[in-house]
Each structure stands twice: as structure tokens, then as C-alpha cells.
């Protein structure tokens, strides 16, 4: 089997898709925690696209589709929301999620972010929350975004700001790195990873290069709240596939010591509004909006 460094882009895509398929049950389990933290990001994206009755809104790399579902009521009557993701298991979870909430004007289907399975100029608005930094080729993906949007349609997407602005994930990665458990750290921006697009200049260049106009970038602060530092650590080690892989062969006292170090890092962010021991670990996202 080829290693990460000598694999072809298609092999890397297939590998990433398998990982996301495996992650779907974890995302479903941790949905409430993640969505509570990044809700301000979803709302900033919805404000940016200003959905209107009758609009067709596509959410891509949607995961469970939380952002797209916010648009469903706003496009009613006459409009619809399409939730899509590259992982079938995420699509199934998004469909269940919409059904549980009784939302009628929503459909869900599997779709690659780099080549959206939609006709040209068929969409009024496109939402992508925390998706573009995970694709092999964000430039191709943004060009395809431009293709599916009707002229004047709106794109709104979110990426994580720099790792040092995101201790909610970065603090655990830093400890794993200190213990020599990460193959590469920081991960180069050329490789898909949560922080690959944390540069306003690169984002505006990518968005402008894909043919969008008037790109605007806003920074949104978030807080991940958990009852304890240990609970936050458990959640992060589950939803970060890279972190989970780093620790998969570490057991016993070695593992306990590393986990204690991670907990100490998160305990530095006590939740002023929470009970004793609760944490509110900060992060920052960039929300980019542009016209097609």
C-alpha cells in the first residue's frame, strides 16, 4: 500500500472518503456539542446568502446539514435545500436529521465538493461550512462552485483560522506533536487539513481566481463548551481522525500521561458561565462570502 506522500490524488481522495464514512457515527453523536459551538458561523453564512422564498440552496460537504437546514424555512414557499456530502454515511445521517425535525423542503444526496453533481447556473446560493480545506484541490472546487451558481448567486463558506487561534483542536495536536506522535506538524497548507486555508490573502485569491466578485471575509469567534477538560479532550480525540490515529497504538501509563497533559492544556480555559470544572475552549473561523 502506498504511503500518504507517494499516493496519487485519487488514492488520497478515496482514503479521505473512507475516513469520513467512518467518522459519520461520531459526528452524529457529537452533533449537539459541535453545532452549539459553531452556530454563530452558520448564522453568519445564512446572513451572507440572504435566502429568499423560492431559492434553491445547496449545502456541500454538509456533514449533518445543520447550516443548510437553517435555510429551509427561509426559502419556503417554493424553494428547496439540497444537503450533499462526499460520504454516503453523512448523507444518510443528514437525511435522518431533516426527517426528525419534520423539514419537508429538503433533499439529501452524495456529491463531491470538487465536482458538484448539479447543472450549471442551477443554484441560487451555495453553503460550505468547514469543507474546502479538506479537498485535494480547493481551486477546482471553487471553480465548480462558480459553475453551479446562477449569475448573481451567492457563495458563503467557512474555514478555520490559524491553528494558534484554535486551541479547541490545536492544543491537543500540540501535545501529540511534542510526544512525536504526529507524522507532520504543522501540516503543510498544500495537504488537506483543518487549517489549510487559514489565510485571508489565499482565500480571496482563490475566490477571485474562480470568477467570484466582491469577496468579503469576516472573522467569527466560537467557544466549545464541555463539562470538563477531560470531556473536551475525549470529543476532540474522536472527531479528529488525525489525533485518533496518532494515539491508536499508545496504551497504558503512556497514554494516561498524554491525556493528562492535554487535559491540563484545556483546563486553562475555564467556562465563566459554567459549573466548577467546565471549560469553554476558544476558536476562530473565517467566513467568506462572494457573488457569482
- Residues near ligand SAM (CB under 6 A) are 16, 20, 61-63, 66, 85-87, 90, 112-114, 129-131, 134-135
- Complex with ligand SAM: residue 55 or 129, whichever CB lies closer: 129
Shortest Cβ distance from residue 27 to ligand SAM (Å)?
7
Shortest Cβ distance from residue 181 to ligand SAM (Å)?
21
Angle between helices 9-29 and 31-49 (to 10 degrees): 110
- Complex with ligand SAM: residue 30 or 261, whichever CB lies closer: 30
Name the residue number minimizing CB distance to ligand SAM: 63
| Listed residue (48, 53, 68, 66) closest to 207, CA to CA | 48
- Complex with ligand SAM: residue 141 or 280, whichever CB lies closer: 141
- Complex with ligand SAM: residue 20 or 266, whichever CB lies closer: 20
Shortest Cβ distance from residue 264 to ligand SAM (Å)?
26
Residue whose C-alpha cell is 419537508: 104
CB 246 within 8 A of CB 176: yes
Shortest Cβ distance from residue 251 to ligand SAM (Å)?
28
Cell of 222: 466560537
Shortest Cβ distance from residue 50 to ligand SAM (Å)?
20
| H runs (alpha helix) in 198-282 | 200-209, 229-239, 241-247, 252-267
> Going along 73-148, which residue ranges are E strands?
80-85, 106-110, 123-129
Shortest Cβ distance from residue 119 to ligand SAM (Å)?
18
Residue whose C-alpha cell is 475555564: 270
| Listed residue (59, 37, 61, 257) closest to 169, CA to CA | 37
- Complex with ligand SAM: residue 169 or 258, whichever CB lies closer: 169
Within its chain, how far is the Cα of 9 from the centroid?
A: 21
- Complex with ligand SAM: residue 86 or 167, whichever CB lies closer: 86
CB 168 within 8 A of CB 282: yes
Amino acid at each position: 500500500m502506498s504511503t500518504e506522500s507517494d499516493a496519487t490524488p485519487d488514492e488520497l481522495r478515496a482514503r479521505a472518503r473512507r475516513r469520513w464514512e467512518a467518522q459519520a457515527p461520531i459526528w452524529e453523536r457529537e452533533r449537539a456539542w459541535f453545532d452549539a459551538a459553531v452556530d454563530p458561523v452558520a448564522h453568519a453564512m445564512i446572513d451572507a446568502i440572504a435566502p429568499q422564498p423560492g431559492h434553491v440552496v445547496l449545502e456541500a460537504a454538509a456533514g449533518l446539514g445543520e447550516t443548510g437546514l437553517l435555510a429551509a424555512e427561509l426559502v419556503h414557499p417554493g424553494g428547496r435545500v439540497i444537503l450533499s456530502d462526499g460520504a454516503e454515511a453523512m448523507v444518510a445521517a443528514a437525511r435522518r436529521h431533516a426527517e426528525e425535525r419534520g423539514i419537508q423542503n429538503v433533499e439529501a444526496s452524495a456529491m463531491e465538493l470538487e465536482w458538484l453533481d448539479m447543472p450549471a447556473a442551477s443554484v441560487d446560493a451555495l453553503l460550505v461550512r468547514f469543507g474546502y480545506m479538506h479537498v485535494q484541490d480547493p481551486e477546482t472546487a471553487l471553480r465548480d462552485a462558480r459553475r453551479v451558481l446562477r449569475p448573481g448567486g451567492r457563495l458563503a463558506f467557512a474555514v478555520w483560522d490559524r491553528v494558534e487561534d484554535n486551541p479547541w483542536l490545536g492544543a491537543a495536536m500540540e501535545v501529540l506533536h511534542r510526544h512525536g506522535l504526529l507524522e507532520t506538524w504543522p501540516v503543510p497548507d498544500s495537504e488537506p487539513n483543518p487549517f489549510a486555508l487559514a489565510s485571508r490573502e489565499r482565500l480571496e485569491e482563490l475566490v477571485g481566481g474562480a470568477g467570484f466578485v466582491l469577496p468579503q471575509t469576516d472573522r467569527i469567534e466560537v467557544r466549545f463548551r464541555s463539562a470538563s477538560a477531560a470531556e473536551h479532550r475525549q470529543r476532540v480525540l474522536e472527531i479528529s481522525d488525525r489525533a485518533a490515529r496518532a494515539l491508536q497504538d499508545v496504551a497504558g501509563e503512556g497514554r494516561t500521561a498524554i491525556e493528562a497533559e492535554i487535559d491540563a492544556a484545556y483546563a486553562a480555559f475555564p467556562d465563566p458561565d459554567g459549573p466548577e470544572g467546565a471549560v469553554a475552549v476558544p476558536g476562530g473561523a473565517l467566513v467568506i462570502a462572494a457573488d457569482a
